[in-house]
Amino acid sequence: MGYNLEQINAISDGDKDFVEAVVIAFIEEVPADLVTFKKEVKLGNYEGVYQVSHKIKPNLELLGMQESFEINLKILAWAKAKTNMEDIAIAFTEVQSKINDNITELKKEFNL
| pLDDT tens per residue, range 65-88 | 999 999 999 999 999 999 999 999
d(CA 52, CA 11): 25
* Within a domain: 34: yes
* Within a domain: 1: no
On whether the pTM is more than 0.85, the answer is yes
What confidence score (pLDDT) does residue 10 get? 94
Task: Residue 96: give its domain's CATH number.
Answer: 1.20.120
* Within a domain: 59: yes
What confidence score (pLDDT) does residue 1 get? 74
Mean local confidence (pLDDT), 36-49: 98
